Structure 1
Amino acid sequence: MLQIIFLIFFGFVRCFAKQPSAIYIILSLWLLRLDKMSGNGDVELRIHKHHIVIDNGLLKLTLSKPGGLIRAIRYNGIDNLLELHNEQLNGGFYDLNWSEEGANKTRGQFDVIQGKKFSVVVENENQVELSFTRPWDPSVQGKQSPLSIDRRFVMLRDHTGFYSYAIFEHAEDFPGFNLNTARIAFMLRKDKFHYMAVADNRQRYMPLPDDRLPGRGQNLSYPEAVLLVDPVEPEFKGEVDDKYQYTLENKDNKVHGWICFDPPVGFWQITPSNEFRNGGPFKQDLTSHVNPTTLAIFGTSHYAGVDLLLKFKHGEVWKKVFGPVFIYLNSVPEGQDPLSLWNDAKEQMKKEVEAWPYDFPASEDFPKSHQRGEVRGKLHVYDRYINKDKVPAGAAYVGVAPQGHTGSWQRESKRYQFWTTTDEKGYFSIPNIRAGDYNLYAWVPEFIGDYKYEVALNITPGSCIDVGELTFKPPRDGPTLWEIGIPNRTAAEFYVPDPNPMYINKLYVNHPDRFRQYGLWERYSDLYPDKDLVYTVGVSDYRKDWFYAQVTRKTGDNEYKGTTWQIKFSIDCVVEEGIYKLRLALASVHNSNLQVRVNNACANPPLFSTGEIGGDNAIARHGIRGIYWLFSVDIPAAQLMPGENTIYLTQTKSESPFQGIMYDYIRLEGPSHVGS
C-alpha cells in the first residue's frame, strides 16, 4: 500500500516539480520512516543524552539513562501505558526492601534501584539487550542495600513485549544485611486500566486509587485494607479493597495483569519459571492490585515471616539471577471483546513456559538448556495401615532444592528450586535444573509429613540422574482411631464463615476462595461469644463445625484472649501401658503457642507445648495456608479412660486478632501393636 501511494505521488511530482530527483530522495526517506512506523519487526536502539529508546515497530520502550527506570511504554496508539503523575511511585522500576544485619523484622528501608552505569550488551536487528548496573559503594552504607545489581532489559524482533532480569551479587567485602523483598513494579495509567485479572475466576472491574484516600476510604485493621465509603463509582460503595485478596501461590502465579477498554489493550506480567522465587511452590505472593499496579515478585517474606528473609553475613559470597520475566502487551480491534485478551495472555504464557530456559539472555550467569541437568524417577507411598503394599504416589509434589533437612525447602530463599508433580503412576521428571548440589524432596496429598531422598544430587551440565523407585513412609505409629480434616496442607475444607456484610469484596461472594474476604477472623467471636468450639468425633462435621482458624476472641476494644478448643471422643478399651499418638498438622501459624492437655483443662504443665512459633500472617492476609508444621504428641494410656475423653487445644497468645492457627489435619493413632 505504501509503495502504491509513493508511486502515485512520485508520478505527480515528475509532472509538476522542477527538481524531481531531490523530491525523490525526500520521499524515499519518508517511505522508509513509514515502513518503520508500520512495524517491520527490526529492533532499533536510540540512545539520547538522558534516556534510551528501544523500538521494534510494535512497541516502544523508554528508559532513563543511566538509571534504567522505565519511563514509557508506547503501544497500539497509546503514547504511554504507565502512570507518571503519582505523588510517590511512577512508571516501572526495580525496588527492594532491606534491613541492617541482625534485624528481625520483615520490613526495613525501601530502595528503588537506579543504575550508575549503562551499557549495550546486544544490538542487532533481532535483539537489543541493555544493562544498567549499580555497584556497591561503601560511601552509601546504611542508605542502600549492600549489593551489586545488574538489571537487564531485552527486546526481541516481532515480540509485543519485553523481557527483564536482574543479577544480584553479595561479595567478600560487603557488609551483612537482610534482604526482605525484591521485585519489579509497574504503575499503570489510572485513566486507562480499570479491569484486573489474576485467574479465570478472579478478575473484575477494580476501584480507583482515589477511592482509598481519606474521605473516600476508611482504614481498617491494617493499612492495606480500606473500606470504600464514598468511591467515585457508587457500585464499589461498601466494598473492602485489600491487595492481599489477590495473592497467588507460586505454582499458580504465571500470568496476571490489566485490561484497558479504550483502546482494547492488555498489560500482562508473565513469569514462566519459579526457579528463582523463594519458599517453594505453595509460597504466596502479591500479583496485581489497585493503583493500578502489576508486580513481578522475586522474593518476599509474605505468608512466611522472618523464616524467608535472606540473611547475609559480612563477606558472604552469593549471586542469584532473578528472571527473566516477560511483560506482554496485546490488543484486539475495536468492536471485539476486550476480555478475550486474558485468554490470549494465557496462551502466550504457555508459549513462554515451553521456551524456558530462554536461549537469548546474554549473561553467562543464566545457563541455557544444554548447561542444565535433569532428575527423574518414580515415587511410591507406603502406609501399612492404609494399604498392605506400597502404591504409586500420584499427584505428589517432587522437587530439588538446596541441601537441608526434611521440609527445609519451604524456608529457602537464597538459591534455586525446581518442582514438578508425579503422574498417576508416580513417575516424575524434573528438567532444566541448574548445575549444583541438591536434595530431592516430596510430599504426597492425603498423607502427612515430608519426604527427603538422603542421597545428595550433584547436577552437572547435560546430566540426567535417574534415582529409580523411591518410597515415602509417612509418619505413622498405629491405626487411626479418628481424624479431623484432610491432609492437604490447607484449611480450605473447614468451616469458612460468611463475611460481615459491612466488609465484602463482591468477587468472593459464592466463590471457591471464600476465605479471601476481609475480617473473617472476627466472625469467631460472633459465633462463639462466650464459650469456645467443641468438636465431638463421630457427631460433628469438620466442614461445618470446625472453624477454619483458631484465633483469639475479642473481649473489648483492642482486648483479646486466647482460646481453648475441645475434641471429645470415646475409647471402648484403653490399651494399658500403651502410647497413643496425636498428630497435629498445621497449615499456618502466626505468633502462637499451642498447648495440648488431655482430660484436664487446667493441667500444669500441659502435656505438650509448641512454644511461640510462626509468623506467616496468613489469617490477616486471607491465605488459607502459610508454612506447614507437623507435631507428634505422645499420650500415655494412663491419661486416657474407657468411654468419653477430651483433648484440649489451647492457643495462649492474645495480643492481637491475627494470632492463631490454621489446622491442616488432626489424627489420633492407637498404640502400634493394635491393628497390626
Structure 2
Amino acid sequence: MGSGKILFALLTLFSQFMAAFSNSQQNENPSVDFHGGEKRTGSSLLSEGVQLRIEKDYVVLDNGILQVTLSNPGGHVTGIQYNGLENLLEADNGESDRGYWDVVWSGEGVTRKKGRLDRLEGTNLTVVVETEEKVEISFTRMWNSSLQAKVVPLNFDKRYVMLRGSSGFYTYAIYEHLKGWPAFDLDNTRIVFKLAKQKFRYMAIADNRQRYMPLPEDRSPERGKTLAYPEAVLLVNPIEPEFKGEVDDKYLYSCESQDTGVHGWISADPRVGFWQITPSNEFRTGGPLKQFLTSHVGPTTLTVMHSTHYAGANITMKIGPDEPWKKVYGPAFAYLNSLSDGGDPLSLWDDAKKQMVNEVHMWPYDFIASEDFPPAKQRGSVGGRLLVLDRYVSNATISAEGSYVGMAAPGEVGSWQLESKGYQFWTKTDEGGNFTINGIRPGDYNLYAWVPGFIGEYRFISVIRINPGCDIDIGDLVYEPPRNGSTLWEIGFPDRSAAEFYIPDANPEYINKLYLIHGRYRQYGLWERYAELYPSEDLVFTVGKSDYSKDWFFAQVTRKKDNATYEGTTWQIKFLLDEVNERAEYKLRLALATANVAELEVRVNEPNANPVFSTGQIGKDNTIARHGIHGLYRLFNADIPVAQLRIGNNTLFLTQTARISPFQGVMYDYIRLEGPPQPHKTRKEI
C-alpha cells in the first residue's frame, strides 16, 4: 500500500481529528505553504498578466499559476497544467473526453431511448476580451437546417474566462433556440472534468461525505458485478482489496442543489486539489432541494445544470417549434489549490470551502463580458416577512422561521418544482420569518414558499416584475396551510423528506462504508429489506403505541415474491376514535416525499371495499433506486366518509398497487387525520 493511500485511509477515519491537528501544525510550522486563489504566495506569479496563445489546433490560457489548453475550434478542455502536474486531466482519454460541456436531447428522428448525447463541439473561436487582467474566449456553433437530427437544434456559445492571479478558471454557456426551429426535449446538460485516475483518489463532496475511492477498472466485468441496474456495481475483485465487497454507484454521491456549492478531488502526491465551485443555483432546475449528481468514480467531477434525476420526465425541458428561448448556464469555477510537503491534504478541502464563500460573495460576477449575464446593478431584490396562521396551532400568526422563499416563473402552486426554462432565486427566512432575495434577473416572477412543520406551500398571487436596480419590500405575507379541523393523529414531520422514518441496516453483502452512520438511506438495496422484515404480513402501525422512527419503513415498496415477480403492499394504521360526528367532514392529508410509477389507494375499515381515494398512477422520480430520501413533493387531500368511521377501533388501509418492479412505490413525508371543523375556527383550503 502506497504512502498516499495510507494517509487517505487515516483521513477517512479521523478527518475531524486530522483537521484540528492540521490547523495546530500549520500554526507552528511556517514551512507549510498553501497555494490557492488569493492565498497564492510569490509576487512574481501574482504580477504576471494573463496570456492567450492561439495555435492551429489548440488555445492556451496562462496566468503564470496554471495553463489551460483547449481544442480549437471545438472548445473542449484537453489539458490543465498546475503545480508540477503536466496534466490534471486523464491523458489516456481522447481529447474530447477530458473536460467538456454536453447535452442529452431528443427530437424528431432521435430514437435513442434516453435521448442523444451532443458534446457541443464548437466550430468557431472568438476572442471576446484579451487584456493582462482578463481573457475571455468564446466557442460557438450556429445551428442550421443541414444539421437536422444530427445535433441539438440550438445555437450555443461556450465561454472560458481566466483572471490575473486566480488559481482557477470560469466557464459558462449560452443556449439559444430561435422561432421556427425544430422542437426538441432537453433531458440533461452539464460540465464534465475527468481527472488523472492515478493521482486523484480522494473525493470530497461534504464534510461528512468524503473518502478514498476505487479505480474505474474496479467496475469492469472482470472485477465487478453489475447489480439491479448498470450504475450499481459490486466490487468483487478490486485492484485494492480494501474495496472488496463494497457497492459503487454514482447515485450514492448525489446532493441537493443547495449543497452542491463545492465538491471535488485531492491528489496525495503532489498535494493538489481540483474543485468544482457553483456560487449560484439561479440557472438550475427544480429549486433548492432538487438532487443532482456531483463527483463519482472516474475520477469524474460534474456541474449539472439541468437533469431529470429524482424528478422524472415531468421535468424535461420541452422547447416548441415556434418557441424562442435563451438561457445562460453558469458561470461555474474550476478551482485548484495545493500544498507544499508536510501539509495535511484535508486542508485543501477546507480552503475550497472558503473559496466557495468568496465566489458567492462576488456573485453576480462583474467581469463577465456577455450582455446576457446581467451584473448586480442590472438586477433587483425582493424582501419581506413570512408568517404562518394555523388556528389549530395558534390563534395568532407565528414567524415562519427556516422557511424556503423563492422567485420562479409564474405558475401554479408548486410549479417551480418542474420549471426548467427560466431562472430561480431562493433564500431561507431568519428566526423572525424575514427574508431578502438579492441578485434577481429582470423579468416576471411569482413568489413561492414552504414552511417546515406545515404541509402545502404558499404562492403570492400577484406576478412580481423585477426591473434593473429595483428593491421591492413586499411586506408581511401570511401563509394559511391546508386545515379542516383539529389533528386526530399524525405520522412523521412535514419537511418534504422521509428521513425521520425507519432506515434499515444495509445488507452486509452490499455495503458502502461511507454511509454506515451518516446518510444510511443511501446504501444500496434497502428496498429489498422490506420483504425481509415483512416476509408475509405488511406493516401495521398503531397510533399512540408505535414509533414512526422505528415502526414506519421509510418507503412503501413492492414485495419480491420470487426472482421475477412482485406484489403490491398494504399498510395499516390502527387508531381509536372516542366519538364520531355523523354530520361532519373528516379529512386525510397525505404528503408524499416521492413516488415512482405508483398508485396509492385508501380504504377505511374494509380492506376489500372500493377505495375512498386513489392517487391514480403517479411519479417517475426513481428515488428508491437512486438512494434518495425525497423526490418531488406531492400533497393529496382525501375526504373520509363519516359513515365508514366507528367509535372505538378503526383501521386505515394504504395500498400501493403497482407491482412490476422493485423500484415502484412511495415515500411518505407526513400523514394526518383531521377531525371536523369547529364552529369558532376559520377554514381555508389552499
With normalisation by structure 1, the TM-score equals 0.93
Question: Which of residues 526, 530, 552 is equivalent to 1:520?
Answer: 526
Measure, in 2, the Cα distance between the counterparts of 1:153 and 1:216: 39
State the Cα distance separating 1:455 from its structure 2 match. 1.3
Gap runs ≥5 in structure 1: 1-34
Query: For the residues of structure 2 that align with 1:578 and 1:144, how far apart are their CA atoms?
Result: 60
Match of 1:641 in 2: 646
Query: Which of 386, 391, 397 is equivalent to 2:398?
Result: 391
Report % sequence identity.
Answer: 60
Residue number in structure 1 paired with 2:88: 81
Partner of residue 423, structure 2: 416
Q: Quick one: distance in 1 between partners of 2:318 and 2:100?
A: 24
CA shift for structure 1 position 468? 0.6
Query: After the TM superposition, which residues 6-85 of structure 1 pair with which residues of structure 2 at under 5 Å, given as runs?
Result: 40-85=47-92
Once residues 601 and 84 of structure 1 are traced to their aligned partners in structure 2, the CA distance between those partners, rounded to angstroms, is 62
CA distance in 1, matches of 2:328, 2:345: 35
How much does 1:594 deviate? 0.6
Look up the match of 2:472: 465
Aligned positions of 1:457-496 closer than 5 A: 457-496=464-503
How far apart are the structure 1 equivalents of 2:103 and 2:122? 14
| Aligned equivalent of 1:142 | 149
Q: Is the 8 A contact 1:89 1:187 kept in 2?
A: no
CA distance in 2, matches of 1:42, 1:402: 42
Q: Residue 367 of structure 2 corresponds to which residue in structure 1?
A: 360
| Alignment correspondent of 1:124 | 131
Distance in 1, Cα, partners of 2:280 & 2:109? 31
CA distance in 1, matches of 2:473, 2:593: 32
Equivalence for 2:24? none
Deviates more, 1:100-109 or 1:398-407: 100-109
Tell me, yes or no, if structure 1 residue 623 matches structure 2 residue 628. Answer: yes
1:316 aligns with 2:323: yes
Cα deviation for residue 86 of structure 1 reads 3.5
Check conservation: 2:138, 2:157, Cα contact below 8 A.
yes
- Report the counterpart of residue 684 of structure 2 in structure 1: none
Is residue 276–residue 321 contact of structure 1 (8 Å, CA) maintained in 2?
yes
CA distance in 2, matches of 1:573, 1:181: 54
Give the secondary-structure state (helix, strand or coil) at the position aligned to 1:454: coil
Structure showing greater radius of gyration is 1
- Could you list the per-position Cα deviations for residues 435-454 of structure 1 after superposition, in whole angstroms to 9, with x for gaps in the alignment? 00000000000000010001
Residue type matched to 2:185 in 1? N
Report the counterpart of residue 545 of structure 2 in structure 1. Answer: 539
Does structure 1 conserve the Cα–Cα contact (< 8 Å) formed by 2:570 and 2:655? yes
Distance, in Å, in 2 between the alignment partners of 1:299 and 1:232 is 35
Q: Alignment partner of 1:420: what SS?
A: strand
- 1:171–1:317 contact (8 Å) kept in structure 2: yes
What is the alpha-carbon distance in structure 1 between the residues aligned to residue 557 and residue 680 of structure 2? Answer: 36
Unaligned runs of at least 5 residues, structure 2: 1-41, 682-686
1:347 pairs with 341, 348, 354, which one? Answer: 354
Shift of 1:41: 2.8
The alpha-carbon deviation at position 140 of structure 1 amounts to: 2.0
Q: Does the 8 A contact of 2:77 with 2:96 survive in 1?
A: no
What is the RMSD computed on CA atoms of the aligned residues? 1.5
2:562 maps to amino acid: G
The answer to whether residue 571 in structure 2 is matched with residue 569 in structure 1 is: no
CA deviation map 1:510-565 (0-9, x unaligned) = 22x11000000000000000011010100100000000000000001121011110
Do the aligned partners of residues 287 and 313 (structure 1) sit closer, same or farther apart at CA in structure 2, a change above 3 Å counting?
same
- Residues 479 and 674 in structure 1, CA contact (< 8 A), matched pair in contact too: no
Supply the distance in 2 between the matched residues of 1:86 and 1:153 (Cα, whole angstroms).
21
Corresponding residue of 1:276: 283
SS at match of 1:556: coil
CA shift at 1:636, angstroms?
Answer: 1.8
Aligned partners of 2:231 and 2:250 also within 8 Å: yes
Structure-2 change in CA distance of 1:293 and 1:577 (3 Å)? same
Q: In the aligned structure 2, how far is the partner of 1:40 from the partner of 1:231?
A: 47
User: Which 4+ residue blocks in structure 1 deviate beyond 6 angstroms?
Assistant: 102-106
Find the aligned partners of 1:515 and 1:365 in 2 and give their Cα distance. 41
- Choose 292-301 or 106-115, whichever is displaced more: 106-115
Aligned residue identity for 2:250: K
Matches within 5 A, 1:202-241: 202-241=209-248
Given that 2:402 and 2:433 are in contact with CA atoms closer than 8 Å, whether structure 1 keeps it comes out as yes
Amino acid at match of 2:552: W
Structure 1 residue 132: Cα displacement: 0.1
Residue by residue, what CA displacement relative to the aligned partner does 1:359-387 show, whole Å, maximum 9, x if unpaired? 01100000000000000001100100011
Mark the CA change 1:593 to 1:421 in structure 2 (over 3 Å): closer, same or farther.
Answer: same
**Any idea what SS the aligned residue of 2:460 has?**
strand
Aligned CA distance change for structure 1 residues 588 and 536 (closer, same or farther; 3 Å): same
User: Which residue is 1:665 aligned to?
Assistant: 670
Correspondence list, 1:250-269, <5 A: 250-269=257-276
Deviation at 1:90, TM superposition (A): 2.3
Q: Deviations over 1:114-161 (max 9, x none)?
A: 101100000000000000001112212112111110000000000000
Partner residue of 2:597? 591
Q: 1:89: Cα distance to partner?
A: 6.5
The residue number in structure 2 matching 1:503 is 510
User: What CA deviation, in whole Å up to 9, does each residue of 1:61-118 have, x standing for no partner?
Assistant: 0000000010000000101000131479721000110011699998211111110110
